[in-house]
Structure 1
Amino acid sequence: MRSGMISRRQGDCKPAEPGMLASLAMAVAPNPDSKAPGRPDGLLALADRCVQCGLCLPHCPTYQHDRNEAESPRGRIALWRGLASGQLAASAATDAHLDHCLGCRACESACPAGVRYGELLVAGRALQRERRRPSPRQFLVEWLAARPRWLAPLLGLYRRLHPALPARLRPLPAPPARTAPATPRPTGPSPSASVSLFGGCVGRPYDEPARLALSRLLDAAGIATVEPGGQTCCGALHAHAGDLATATRLAAGNRSAFARSDTVCATASGCQHALARSLEGSPAHAEDPFVLLARVAPELAFRPARRRVALHLPCTQQRVDGSVAALRALLQRIPELDVVLLDPACCGAAGVQMVTDPGRAAGFREPLLAALDSSGADTLLSANVGCRLHLGNASPVPVRHPLEFLAEHLQ
């Protein structure tokens, strides 16, 4: 594979200047009389691991975008520490800085002190959730995601109306038309099935072609698939928004849905980790589809592609699922395929931020689209449904799941 990297501005990898973080803390008034119920010691323990070295700065997309210490990981950690301890009072400004975090966890990969920023983000957002309501748009997205049976018909209506809607009412590409599988598949758990497929919420209609493709690939390797009923959203977007109660309830629903399963695969990289956590302690376990396919790759043969595609690596695939090497190995098995690897920067989708703050999200997408436009690729591949929707809304070429591309080139 060759690399088509985007040039990016680099931040300073230096310790905080004297008074820098103190000035950040002074941006909001002290709150010694806070009546917050107790100290969230778990959040403070996570925050105290940060040594404020600044090595995260060149890796943080929001700091690179704004050049504002409050938009950096160590700046946000300072804010969360102040809010959790009651030494700072929340304001619209502090909430905006915390809300802007994309959750890409690039800082976590670069941190020499081992700060578990992913856990810190969830804990911090939960603290915010206790004192403020979500915006109407955020509430609507969360409410629908937790009810896939309601969401699916609404997205079906959206698909039919999409061509006639004005641009401001088309936050997402049109969902694909329903496609009947080439051969009948079971609709519930079966003792003979080896792999169960996870549908999720928005992924249920948008990732249907990817699930059919995964079923075809596994079938070629002699592995059967089923889609158990009773599934719901993985709960990742709720957890990242601080709604831990709903995330826990959804996890319990999926644990029940896959109670008779062995291996479970999610086609969306953003769902894989949340699904794995929900299945802990149950007989079923989650496995990344690319890791699974790479293990059975000797059973798969691919025909030549004779084309160039661009590969986008979602943050979750890079830093949580760890399936980048497996995906690249699978694509390398397709003869005469030229793959251009785009800069592994966050696309800005960030769960629901592409819907709740579309203007800001588009700013993070632009460099990737510019690199794609100059790459000469005729297709963009991305393994996360949110990234594909965000990129697909403005991409000059079709944006597809790698599983679809792999299945199309099976011999």
Structure 2
Amino acid sequence: MPAASRPLASDPLVALADRCVQCGLCLPVCPTYGREGMEAESPRGRIALARAWALDTIEPGPLGDAHLDHCLGCGNCEAVCPAGVEYDALLVSARGRQRERRGASLLQKALEGLVVRPRLLGALVGLYRRTRSLLPHRLQLLPAPPALASDGMLPLRDATAAQPATSTPSAALFVGCIADSYEGPARDALTRLCAAAGIQLVMPDAQTCCGALHAHAGNLDGAARLAACNREAFAGHAQVLTLASGCHKALAGAIDGETVDALSLLDARSDELTFRSRPERVALHLPCTQRNASGSVPALRRLLARIPELTVIEIDAGFGCCGAAGNQMLIDPVRAGEYRQPLLDQLATSGATRLLSANIGCRLHLGNGTMLPVQHPLEFLAERLATPDAADPAHGRPGASSAR
């Protein structure tokens, strides 16, 4: 029955599902439908499945659960939907009910518990750093973590300490969970870039995981607790910056202030930044969450275009998603690897000397499949940042060329 002729539903999930007009415009942009070619592996199919479960018209079972589990949560469908279906909200709600019915795996529960215990997580990452080379290849699920400290790291102010009055613009920085151990170089780069742009960073100590990992696994209570914790941690901050595009949407829904992708902020103040030329060919991966959640793709392209002689190759082969999908690269590494492989093949033939990607999960997933350096774009931008006494007026002008 067409959505327009259906009766209004009192069930919120059914109400979300009933907005779907079954036009099928989501199918061409859905990674899982592109890989499988099955209606049940499409957004339209999953919407119908979740609605049928909610109305008790079909019995839940392992096959239907698998179709829901396979969704990568990329948001491509929501971006193109002419009816404005809130697919992410529907997916989270459906997985919440699914979890109530069947529970969660031990691995999922372990990951959820680990990311909210930063000391334990940091200790395990440190152990992994020291022993990774000794592990069999099948257990090397993540790239080697970076060194504990970055040379020349500029300290971030503790937002909880009393600070002198200043007219310098400031922004709070959201760190995240696994990013705390893996994104030290990116935080170093952001601090240097913000200093050059006249922005002072603060980093509240009481912040925690964004909760996206919990929400997309159906742990709605856990996600709500983390959201409340971050709301309190960032209270009073008008602007909060994200480094990982995968955390952006969850954090934006949790805090009262404005959530801004760090790349967008730097782009808005790019007249304060001058970059040295770099005759290099770099590959750029644009994560699903950067395209569909943080919206910083245009800003990133403009920033890279300010580096003279740089050639940027955007890699986009395959199904529209690298397959990392939060923790799916750990839960189902074989399937995740199949989504990643076309991108790695394109990277290998691109002639690029490094790969840039703005989401921590994508970088970990892609970095574990290539020998090329994989960086946050901010790291590369900071490398090319010109000091005032060495600036060449021409170096700040747009000069990068792009190729696909």
TM-score strictly above 0.5: yes
Rounded Cα–Cα distance in structure 1 between residues aligned with 2:153 and 2:58: 59
How far residue 359 of structure 1 moved from its aligned partner, in angstroms, is 0.4
Rounded Cα–Cα distance in structure 2 between residues aligned with 1:183 and 1:206: 17
Rounded Cα–Cα distance in structure 1 between residues aligned with 2:212 and 2:220: 10
Partner in structure 2 of residue 205 of structure 1: 181
**What secondary structure does 1:306 align onto?**
coil
Residue segments in structure 1 that go unaligned for 5+ positions in a row: 1-14, 17-38
The sequence identity of aligned pairs, in percent, is 57
Amino acid corresponding to residue 370 of structure 1 in structure 2: D
Partner in structure 1 of residue 92 of structure 2: 122
Partner in structure 1 of residue 107 of structure 2: 137
1:182 matched to 2:153? The reply is yes
Cα deviation 1:22-65 (Å, max 9, x = unaligned): xxxxxxxxxxxxxxxxx971110111111222221111111111
Rounded Cα–Cα distance in structure 2 between residues aligned with 1:132 and 1:94: 12
Instruction: Tell me if structure 2 keeps the 8 A contact 1:294–1:326.
Output: yes
Q: How does 1:302-313 map to 2 (within 5 A)?
A: 302-313=275-286
Partner in structure 2 of residue 323 of structure 1: 296
Rounded Cα–Cα distance in structure 1 between residues aligned with 2:74 and 2:154: 38
Partner in structure 2 of residue 112 of structure 1: 82
Partner in structure 2 of residue 293 of structure 1: 266
Instruction: Tell me if structure 2 keeps the 8 A contact 1:189–1:261.
Output: no
Rounded Cα–Cα distance in structure 2 between residues aligned with 1:71 and 1:348: 14
Q: How does 1:254-403 map to 2 (within 5 A)?
A: 254-280=230-256, 284-343=257-316, 345-403=320-378
Cα deviation 1:1-22 (Å, max 9, x = unaligned): xxxxxxxxxxxxxx99xxxxxx
Rounded Cα–Cα distance in structure 2 between residues aligned with 1:271 and 1:111: 23
Rounded Cα–Cα distance in structure 2 between residues aligned with 1:208 and 1:148: 14
Q: Residues 77 and 226 (structure 1 numbering): CA distance in 2 closer, same or farther, change over 3 Å? A: same
Amino acid corresponding to residue 49 of structure 1 in structure 2: R
Q: TM-score, normalised by structure 1?
A: 0.87
Q: Residues 40 and 201 (structure 1 numbering): CA distance in 2 closer, same or farther, change over 3 Å? A: farther
Partner in structure 1 of residue 52 of structure 2: 82
Amino acid corresponding to residue 333 of structure 1 in structure 2: R
Partner in structure 2 of residue 30 of structure 1: none
1:67 matched to 2:33? The reply is no
Cα deviation 1:79-134 (Å, max 9, x = unaligned): 10111111111111110010000111111122222211111111111111111111
Rounded Cα–Cα distance in structure 1 between residues aligned with 2:64 and 2:10: 18
Partner in structure 2 of residue 221 of structure 1: 197
Residue 49 of structure 1 is aligned with which of 19, 23, 43?
A: 19
Instruction: Tell me if structure 2 keeps the 8 A contact 1:71–1:101.
Output: yes
Instruction: Tell me if structure 2 keeps the 8 A contact 1:234–1:275.
Output: yes
1:164 matched to 2:134? The reply is yes
Rounded Cα–Cα distance in structure 1 between residues aligned with 2:153 and 2:64: 52
Partner in structure 2 of residue 32 of structure 1: none
**What secondary structure does 1:225 align onto?**
strand
Q: TM-score, normalised by structure 2?
A: 0.89
Instruction: Tell me if structure 2 keeps the 8 A contact 1:189–1:260.
Output: no
**What secondary structure does 2:253 align onto?**
helix
Cα deviation 1:350-374 (Å, max 9, x = unaligned): 1110000000000000111111111
Equivalent residue pairs, number? 372
How far residue 262 of structure 1 moved from its aligned partner, in angstroms, is 3.0
Rounded Cα–Cα distance in structure 2 between residues aligned with 1:114 and 1:299: 38
Partner in structure 1 of residue 393 of structure 2: none
Rounded Cα–Cα distance in structure 2 between residues aligned with 1:118 and 1:108: 8
Instruction: Tell me if structure 1 keeps the 8 A contact 2:154–2:188.
Output: no
Instruction: Tell me if structure 1 keeps the 8 A contact 2:280–2:309.
Output: yes
Q: Report runs of 4+ in structure 1 exceeding 3 Å deviation.
A: 180-185, 187-193
How far residue 148 of structure 1 moved from its aligned partner, in angstroms, is 2.1
**What secondary structure does 1:287 align onto?**
strand
Q: Alpha carbon RMSD of aligned pairs, Å?
A: 1.7
Instruction: Tell me if structure 2 keeps the 8 A contact 1:108–1:117.
Output: yes
1:252 matched to 2:223? The reply is no
Rounded Cα–Cα distance in structure 2 between residues aligned with 1:263 and 1:113: 31
**What secondary structure does 2:186 align onto?**
helix
Rounded Cα–Cα distance in structure 2 between residues aligned with 1:189 and 1:196: 11
Instruction: Tell me if structure 2 keeps the 8 A contact 1:148–1:200.
Output: no
How far residue 138 of structure 1 moved from its aligned partner, in angstroms, is 1.3
Amino acid corresponding to residue 287 of structure 1 in structure 2: V
Q: Which moved more, 1:343-352 or 1:293-302?
A: 343-352
**What secondary structure does 1:278 align onto?**
coil
